[in-house]
Amino acid sequence: MMPSAALYGALLLLATVAGCTAQDTVATYVPSWAPFWAKPLYSAQLQLEMAEMQRDDAKGGVDLIVLGDSMTEVLRGTMLSLPCNETSLRINCKRLSGEFKRMFGQYTYSVQAVAGDRAESLIWRMEHGSLPTLHQPKVVVMLIGTNDLHNIAIDHWDGVLAPGVLEGLLADAAPIVARRMKVAVRVLRQRLPDTQLVLMALLPRGSDRVRPHDDNSNWRWPSFYTDGLSIVNKELRAFAATQPRTHYLDCGRPFFTHGGTQLDTTLLPDGMHFSAKGLEQALGPCLKPSAVCEGEQLGAGIKEQRLQYSLGTLAADKAAALQAVEGWWWQQPDTWLQWLQLLQQHVGDGFGISARDAEVAGAKLGSWCSEQRQKRRLGSLPAEQAAQLEAVPGWWWEHSEWARQLDAVRQHVQRTGRLPTRSKADGAPEPGAWCSIQARREGSLPPHKVQALEQLIPGWQWEAATKEEQLEAEWWGKLRQLQEWLVEHKAPPQSSVNHQLFKWCDCQQKLHASGDLQRKHPSRVRALDRLDGWQWHVPVKVVNLSAASTIPTMAAEDAKKADNKGLAGRSMAMGKSAVGCAGKQCAGFRDFLLRGNVVDMAIGIVVGGAFTALVNALVSDLITPFISAIWGGTNFNDLTFSINGSKFFYGHFINQLITFVIVCAVLFFAVVVPMNALVKRMFPEKPKKPERPDGCPFCGHSPIPYTAIKCCACCSELPPLPSETLADLQQEEAEMNADLNQDEEIKKPVEKVQKV
């Protein structure tokens, strides 16, 4: 879309809203200076049509004027202001022009239509030459608006919209399109007050070029235009009844085939523009040239037939023929109550209320709900009906995030049979958090939300689940995953295929082997025992290395290598294999020796013995004489006492005890303390991050850093920590980092001095 067109569209929308609420004048609806958005492309076509209108008006006027876009420009024999043979459309404009002339040739007419035109552009054209000023025509046929929806689809289509999103955008924009068309009708009514206006409903349209499609998507019905077209047509029908000399005409039904599931390709060759056959068989009979051009009131005959039927004066054959017409009714039923009952039944069956996605018994219940919301916004929905809708559980007037979350929780309960939790392992952390918030707001929620939660969500609980309940729910969620896996693969998962589920199974097997699972959770043991394919002990694959199994394999491979060398060659190959195996063993022994196992051990023993002799000499030659001198030259080895002739050398024991204490003190103060200080200075230890207080709730592994999102042992998703605990751990980590930074600052001057 061109920038000027976007600016004009925004200004026109503001002017339209102001016009609908303020006064009913043309100047209020459309600025007289507004540029025609397609004028740079079709100025020649536009000038040609306006010149024709001025010429016909000067000669006495015309009987019929057709206003529209490319769908009616083809009646001139052109498309995009070019002859039809120069376009890529699959329609014969020349034949179409001839067929229209055959139908309306007895009347004077003028086709004022430009391809790609929209309702806002038509308003400008009507003010600048597309309508006569001297002689009013008998009838004006207006068919416009499909390009308004199409341009909205192009503006919002990016190739990745989910199914239903584009349909929703068009349905939401449909009231704006209808408002533009109403402005166009008011402009025409003011300029041609005595002319009969046939306001045509928007014809059905396929999914054309906006969305990637196969060969049949152009004609498949419904398309993504369906809801938008339906809303526009319903508003036009209601609006036409309030305008003088304005008749609403819907000619879309004959263009369908296959029971209304597809557009007729012979009538709409490209899914939008009607062909000559479509004009002859569908649109022409609907327009009824004589009735249109003679100014007869459309629909009067139908009302007369129903009146005669109610009075009992209608012939039986005519009544039977009318009864056979699809969609015919004699007395219109109260369809609103029927729709309400259908909605109540739909909600009572456990379904939610969503926009345009519900279809019950072939009826588009979602579209009907959207229509009721639109009526309420326009102020045309009676208060009694609004109250009845509000009594339906889950009903909402404005689509909100709350309604979306409610629908997500309902779908999770239908799929899993339980409420969602906050854990990512549960697959629904966002709905789980939303449920916790709603449970805490029990006393402040509006009554209709309380009613929706209690009636639409089975098993709803106002008290939030405890941590133990959440862990229990997560365990059973893992069990369901394992059950689905066993149904498909008939065996537990392997680490290389599904590592997370494999670690969970391994954790259950280890807990069962230790007896913790049977003691704490016997129900879990029974649940696992009931699974087909579950094994508490995974069998170990044993490789048979016996001669009976290895020799034939070796012989077969050696025979391939010794091709055509005979028995001697095969024997030599087997001998080489045996030597190779022995060589591998020798290589392992050589690696064992060279790796340093024996050498390191020998060096440690020799150094330890020498160090022991050094320490003993220090104690016996220096420290012990010093102590003896303090005690008056006493030799502790000579201190003894006797009991019944048995001599006890307690002095020797005291001497050895003193020696032991002195050796330990020397080792600690002379070796351990200096070495620790040196190592700490050379290799400072980085502080560890604070740990989760409870470890892994699935396998019990600990410690685990508090920032971890998965367990390093079983790879399970860890549940989020409470906000208070998380804040304390973050504060502790911040203090540790501050201390580390302070130590680094202290070390910098020392390191500079050392370098100098």
Between CA 53 and CA 74 the distance in angstroms is: 18
Give a three-class secondary structure readout of 92-154: CHHHHHHHHHHHHCCCCEEEEECCCCCHHHHHHHHHCCCCCCCCCCCEEEEECCHHHHHHHHH
Beta bridge partners of 443: none
Cβ density class 370-390: b for 16+ within 10 Å, e for less: bbbbbbbeeeebeeeeeebbe
Residue where the block lists tokens 């064992």: 592
Q: Is the pLDDT of residue 534 over 70?
A: yes
pLDDT digits (tens, 9 = 90+) for 260-296: 667 888 888 878 888 888 888 888 877 776 556 555 4
* One-letter amino acid of 59: K
Mean pLDDT calculated for residue range 607-621: 76
Between CA 748 and CA 629 the distance in angstroms is: 49
| Contact predicate 282/275, CB 8 Å | no
| Contact predicate 295/196, CB 8 Å | yes
Beta bridge partners of 196: 139
Residues 324, 329, 330: CA angle, nearest 5 degrees = 110
- Per DSSP, 638 falls in state G
| The predicted structure's pLDDT at residue 476 | 77
| The predicted structure's pLDDT at residue 260 | 65
Any idea where the domains of the chain sit in the sequence? 3-296, 299-331, 335-390, 547-595, 599-682, 689-756
Mean pLDDT calculated for residue range 183-211: 83
| The predicted structure's pLDDT at residue 141 | 92
pLDDT digits (tens, 9 = 90+) for 419-466: 777 655 444 556 777 887 788 777 777 777 787 787 777 777 776 556
Q: Is 262 helix (H, G, I), strand (E, B) or coil?
A: strand
Least confident span in 10-19, 631-640, 646-655, 730-739: 10-19
Backbone torsions φ then ψ of 386, nearest 5 degrees? -60, -40
| The predicted structure's pLDDT at residue 354 | 53
In a 13 Å sphere around the CA of 474, the CA atoms on its Cβ side amount to 27
Question: Which has more confidence, 581 or 651?
Answer: 651
Question: Which has more confidence, 474 or 464?
Answer: 474
Q: Is the pLDDT of residue 22 over 70?
A: no
pLDDT digits (tens, 9 = 90+) for 51-103: 888 898 888 889 899 998 888 888 888 776 666 654 445 566 778 888 888 88
Q: Is the pLDDT of residue 579 over 60?
A: no
Q: Is the pLDDT of residue 142 over 90?
A: yes
Question: Which has more confidence, 310 or 755?
Answer: 310
* Fold of domain 599-682: 1.10.1200
Mean pLDDT, all residues of the chain: 71
| The predicted structure's pLDDT at residue 391 | 84
Residue where the block lists tokens 């109550």: 337
| Contact predicate 703/691, CB 8 Å | yes
* One-letter amino acid of 150: H
Query: What's CA 538's distance to the chain center, in Å?
Result: 39
Question: Which has more confidence, 510 or 380?
Answer: 510
Phi-psi region of 647 (alpha: psi -120 to 50; beta: other; left: phi over 0): beta
Mean pLDDT calculated for residue range 379-393: 84
Cβ density class 682-699: b for 16+ within 10 Å, e for less: eeeeeeebbebeebbbbb
Q: Is the pLDDT of residue 698 over 60?
A: yes
| The predicted structure's pLDDT at residue 184 | 92
Q: Is the pLDDT of residue 46 over 60?
A: yes
Mean pLDDT calculated for residue range 476-482: 81
What confidence tier does 487 reach under pLDDT thresholds 50, 70, 90? confident
Mean pLDDT calculated for residue range 461-488: 74
Q: How many other CB atoms are found less than 10 A from the CB of residue 18? A: 12
| The predicted structure's pLDDT at residue 83 | 67
| The predicted structure's pLDDT at residue 369 | 82
Between CA 290 and CA 645 the distance in angstroms is: 152
| The predicted structure's pLDDT at residue 319 | 78
Q: How many helices (H) and strands (E) does the chain have?
A: 31, 13
Question: Which has more confidence, 743 or 691?
Answer: 691
| The predicted structure's pLDDT at residue 84 | 62
Question: Which has more confidence, 587 or 416?
Answer: 416
Q: Is the pLDDT of residue 624 over 80?
A: no
Count of residues making up the chain:
756
Mean pLDDT calculated for residue range 578-594: 55
| Contact predicate 687/741, CB 8 Å | no
Question: Which has more confidence, 552 or 204?
Answer: 204
Choose among 208, 206, 238, 209: nearest CA to 222: 206
| The predicted structure's pLDDT at residue 165 | 66
Per-position DSSP letters for 37-86, written without gaps between them = TTHHHHHHHHHHHHHHHHHHHHTT--SEEEEESHHHHGGGTEETTEEGGG
Mean pLDDT calculated for residue range 311-326: 71
Between helix 146-156 and helix 226-240 the angle, nearest 10°, is 150
Choose among 202, 200, 201, 198: nearest CA to 295: 198
Beta bridge partners of 109: 64
Between CA 114 and CA 96 the distance in angstroms is: 16
pTM of the model: 0.40
Between helix 401-416 and helix 447-456 the angle, nearest 10°, is 20
| The predicted structure's pLDDT at residue 185 | 92
* Fold of domain 3-296: Rossmann fold (3.40.50)
What confidence tier does 40 reach under pLDDT thresholds 50, 70, 90? very low
